[in-house]
Amino acid sequence: MYCLERGPVDDRRPIAVVAALHGDEPCGAYAIADLLATDPAFQRRVKFVVANERAMEAGERYVDDDLNRAFPGDPHSRSHERRLAARLREELADAEVITFHSTDAEPTPFALLQNPSETTDAVVRATGLEQIVDISYVDGGLEDVVDGVAVECGPMRTRGAAESARGILERFLTARGALPGAVEPVDLDVYRVDGVVDRGDLAFTGRNFQRVHAGDAFAVDTTGDDGEITAPEPFTPVLMATDGYDDMLGFQATNVGPLSELEP
């Protein structure tokens, strides 16, 4: 794990920018390196963390275990990621956190959070994104043990994801007072996850964030046994992809309205 701190120490909580929880999602690490190369004048303490360097250098998602499923971690584990999770949780305990990811499921950047709070509200508004997914329905993950949000920046291993991460990072740090300047406030549409779809032999044929009505097809059975798979109830697919996960097709969510109208 690589950690670098910049900016003055004051009475505000530090910001933590975390990249490469998964070694095959390097967009955040590229964004951090590109920003630091400009030698910006930080006005607030910022920790830059490249979490799973070992997996990133190997070009693999993880070494022993999925880091984002290894929390709270174990400093004495034989697993590289479980030891790393314990170190990372300690490093981020006092910070407001933003983590950068990429995905097979959705080309348009969006944010995710667990355990909504005043801090997560402020952090996600600072990203400038239009959509946020409340994934509190699902236990585990870094955002379940720290105060912050995750950002999905675009397709995995693409220049577009790295460029999106760079733009989001600079806007976020400016909005949170770590870089000079000002940005316009934004509101976000909130989607709340309330179910999952098992992967089985399914291929996703719908579009993420596009509502599926009851009776509409959203997947096909690749074995040919069941043909099209239709929705028994309406839902909005989030992070659905044919090859995105080992055990599920993705999440079912409900659009619950703009963030400004919801209580943290």
Right CATH for 193-252 from 1.20.120, 3.30.2320, 3.30.390, 2.40.50: 2.40.50
What pairing do the DSSP bridges indicate for beta strands 189-198 and 248-258? Answer: antiparallel
φ/ψ of 37, rounded to 5, equals -65, -20
Q: How far apart are CA 221 and CA 226, in angstroms?
A: 6
Tell which residue, 19, 14, 62, 5, has the closest CA to residue 153.
19
Bridge partners (DSSP) listed for residue 18: 49, 99
Q: Are 154 and 164 in contact (CB under 8 A)?
A: yes
Q: What confidence score (pLDDT) does residue 226 get? A: 77
Torsion region of 56: left, alpha or beta (phi above 0 gives left; psi -120 to 50 gives alpha): alpha
* Token pair listed for 211: 């509502």
Residue type for position 263: E
Which residues have C-beta within 8 Å of that of residue 90, sequence separation ≥ 6?
A: none
Q: What confidence score (pLDDT) does residue 140 get? A: 82
Give the pLDDT confidence of 220-260 residue by residue, as tens digits. Answer: 999 877 789 999 999 999 999 998 888 899 999 999 999 98
Q: What confidence score (pLDDT) does residue 264 get? A: 59
Peptide bond into 232 cis (omega under 30): no
- What residue ranges do the domains of the chain occupy? 2-175, 193-252
Q: What confidence score (pLDDT) does residue 121 get? A: 93
> Which residues in the chain show pLDDT less than 70?
263-264
Query: How many other C-beta atoms can be found within 10 angstroms of the C-beta atom of residue 258?
Result: 11
Give the pLDDT confidence of 77-106 residue by residue, as tens digits. Answer: 999 999 999 999 999 999 999 999 999 877
User: The domain at 2-175 falls in which architecture?
Assistant: 3-Layer(aba) Sandwich (3.40)
